[in-house]
Structure 1
Amino acid sequence: MRAAVLREYGEPLEIEDVDRPEPDPDGVVIETEACGICRSDWHAWQGDWDWIGAKPPKGQILGHEPAGTVISVGEDVTRLSEGDNVAVPFNLSDGTCPMCQTGHSNVCENVLPLGFSEAAPGAFAEEVHVPVADQNAVALPDGVSPVAMAGLGCRFVTAFHALVHRADVDAGDWVAVHGCGGVGLSAVHIADAIGANVVAVDLTDEKLAKAEELGADATVNAAESDNVPRAVMGVTDGGAHVSVDALGIAETCRNSVQSLRRRGQHVQIGLTSEEEQGTVELPTDAMVMQEAEFIGSFGMQPPRYDEIFRMVEAGTLDPSAVVSETVTLDDVPDRLAAMSDFETMGIPVVDEF
């Protein structure tokens, strides 16, 4: 089968013929019908994240936002059958650790990152294996488009979990979103859907215009502002109740924290790059005196995907609204390269392999 393989960090992925996967006894193989191209794939391509143990080895098949059809089922799988349409989370869990057993499988103690680990080849491929499938593969509702659901593997569910489960967002609260890439635009759309007022922050007018389409009530162009937190404070009449760093660089993290009103909540979604290597300096004294909260958010538990599906069915959420384009597997190297200069918008999705 064809797959996009990492051979050298920072060099174009190679489109190669590789062996088709076979299911483990507890796994399934899905035919990949759609897979989002995420900034996390860019980090993997760059060779980032060795500081958190997630640097992929050379020879890795990348891609971690798949949706597709089950075509082969391991003998121990009980919940899935051939022909089922599924989405797959990027943070595969084992179902046995204390976190999994208490409903927090998104932070499994033995997490296996799809597309980042040799044990979990990714989904920029015609087929992808899903281990512990009863735990990890999420059955999709009838009639939904795989392209619309591709972002459920990472960006859309991550933003949903951050705003619905981790932060305390009430109707009418101000939510600031710093960085309007795929996860940031998903956060804008979700915050609007749950009744918040949203201010979107980015460097480009095109992305800010898309944020307005998805529900942003106000925007701040960071390239034109000499003080982003002050601009957000002005828009929100004293600061955001919840502020999200959807990018992961030091500037957006600090801007997000400093955009809060007293007793506000900062939610960190974006993971850092080579420059920060996992560490950002923060105004801790101000956070103490204002009782600000710093909250991490990582993926979402598969059993909670139904919350999104119900909102999609009700017409409140539309994951496809964040999809910016569909491309072929051969386009993946160029799309990753474009992310170096933040030239992609929304969620590009591979739908032709």
Structure 2
Amino acid sequence: MRAAVLKEHGEPLEIEDIDRPTLDPNGAIVEMEACGICRSDWHGWQGDWEWLGLKPEPGQVLGHEPAGRVVEVGDDVENVSEGDHVAVPFNLGDGSCPECRRGHSNTCENVMPLGFVEPAPGAFAEELHVPVADHNAVRLPDGVSSTDMAGLGCRFMTSFHALAHRADVGAGDWVAIHGCGGIGLSAVHIADALGANVIAVDLQEEKLEKAKSLGAVETVDASDTEDVPEAVKALADGGAQVSVDGLGIETTCRNSVLSLGNRGQHVQIGLTTQEEEGMVSLPTDAMVMSEIEFIGSLGMPPTRYDEIFRLVATGKLDPSAVVSETVGLDDVPEQLEAMTDFGTVGIPVIDEF
């Protein structure tokens, strides 16, 4: 089968013919119909996250926002059948550890990050093996397209979990989103659906315009704003109730924290680059004086996807609104290169393999 394979960090992925995945007794093989190209793929391509144990090695197939049709299931699989239309979360759980049993499989004790480690080849390929399919293969509602639902593998469900489960977003709250890439734009749309007043912050006018179309009521152009936190506070009547770093660099993290009012909540979604290596200095005294909460958020348990599906069914959420374009597997190297200079708006999705 065809796949986009990492050969060397920072060098273009190569499209190669590789072996089909081997089916485990508890697994399923999914024929890809769509896969988003996420900034996390860019991080993996660059060789980031070695400090987290997530640096993909040469030979790895990247890709972690898949949706498609089940074509084969293992003998021990009970709840997934051939022909099922499914999405697959990037944080594959074993379904049996204490975290999974408590409903927190996004922080599974034996998590396998799809597309980032050798035991879990990714979805930039014609077919994908899904381990523990009864737990990790999420059946999609009738009538939705794989292209529209690909974001449920990472960016859309990650933003939903952050705002609907981890933060305390209330109707009319001011929510600032720092960084309007795929994660940030998804967060803008979701915060708006939850009833918040959204302030979008980015360096690029095109991304800020997209954020407005997704529900942002105010924007801050960080490229010509001397003090981003003060600009947010001026718009948010003294400070946001919730602020999100959707990018993961020191500037956006610190700006997010400083944009908050008393007892505000900072939510960290973005992971850092080689420049920070996971270490960011914070205004801890200001956090103490204002009783600021710092909240980490990772992925989303697949058992809670039905919350998204109910909002999609009523038209309050539309994951496809963040999709910028559809491309072929051969276009993946160029798309990743464009992300180096933040040259994409929204998320490109592969729909031809």
* Same fold, TM-score > 0.5, yes or no: yes
Report the counterpart of residue 191 of structure 2 in structure 1.
191
TM-score by length of 1: 1.00
Uncovered stretches (5+) of structure 1, i.e. residues with no partner: none
**In 2, distance between residues paired with 1:274 and 1:41?**
14
> Any stretches of 5+ residues in structure 2 without a counterpart?
none
Amino acid at match of 1:19: D
Paired residue type of 2:29: V
CA distance in 2 between counterparts of 1:66 and 1:130 reads 10
**Aligned-pair CA distance for 1:60:** 0.1
Distance (Å, rounded) in 2 between the aligned partners of 1:320 and 1:62: 22
Which secondary structure does the structure 1 equivalent of 2:340 belong to? helix
Cα drift, residue 24 of structure 1:
0.3
Give the aligned partner of residue 176 of structure 1. Answer: 176
**Identical columns (%):** 73
1:76 paired residue number: 76
Q: What corresponds to 1:314 in structure 2?
A: 314
1:201-256 per-position Cα deviation (integer Å, ceiling 9, x unaligned): 00000000000000000000000101000000111110100000000000000000
Tell me the matched-pair count. Answer: 353
Q: Take 2:233 and 2:42, find their aligned partners in 1: how far apart are those partners?
A: 32
Cα distance in 2 for partners of 1:160, 1:246 equals 12
Match of 1:284 in 2: 284
Q: Helix, strand or coil for the counterpart of 1:321? A: helix
1:129-158 CA distance string (max 9 Å, x none): 000010111000011010000000000000
Task: Give SS of 1:304's match.
Answer: helix
Following superposition, the deviation at residue 96 of structure 1 comes to: 1.5
Tell me, in whole angstroms, the C-alpha distance in 2 between the residues paired with 1:57 and 1:95.
26
Amino acid corresponding to residue 266 of structure 1 in structure 2: H
Residue deviations 1:327-349 (CA, integer Å, cap 9, x gap):
00000000000000000111110
Partner of 1:218: 218
Query: For the residues of structure 2 that align with 1:118 and 1:44, how far apart are their CA atoms?
Result: 13
Counterpart in 2 of 1:114? Answer: 114
Q: Give me the whole-angstrom Cα distance separating, in 1, the residues matched to 2:113 and 2:329.
A: 21
Q: Which residue of 2 aligns with 1:264?
A: 264
Give the aligned residue type for 1:201.
V
Matched residue, 2:100: 100
| 1:48 alignment counterpart | 48
**Counterpart position of 1:162:** 162
Give 2:205's aligned residue. 205
C-alpha separation in 2, matches of 1:199 and 1:117: 36
Letter in 2 for 1:320: S
Residue 22 of structure 1 deviates from its aligned partner by 2.3
| Aligned: 1:293 with 2:316 | no
Amino acid at match of 1:9: H
Give the whole-Å Cα distance in 1 for the aligned partners of 2:239 and 2:183. Answer: 22
Q: What one-letter code is carried by the residue in structure 1 that aligns with 2:339?
A: M
Amino acid at match of 1:56: P
Distance in 2 (CA, whole Å) between partners of 1:79 and 1:56 is: 31
Q: Please give the secondary structure, in 1, of the residue aligned with 2:128.
A: strand
Whole-angstrom distance in 2 between the partners of 1:176 and 1:145: 30
Counterpart in 1 of 2:239? 239
Q: Shift in Å at residue 100 of structure 1?
A: 0.6
Q: Which runs of 4+ in 1 moved over 3 A?
A: none
Which residue pairs with 1:131 in the alignment? 131
3-state DSSP of counterpart to 1:207: helix
Q: Does 1:335 align with 2:327?
A: no
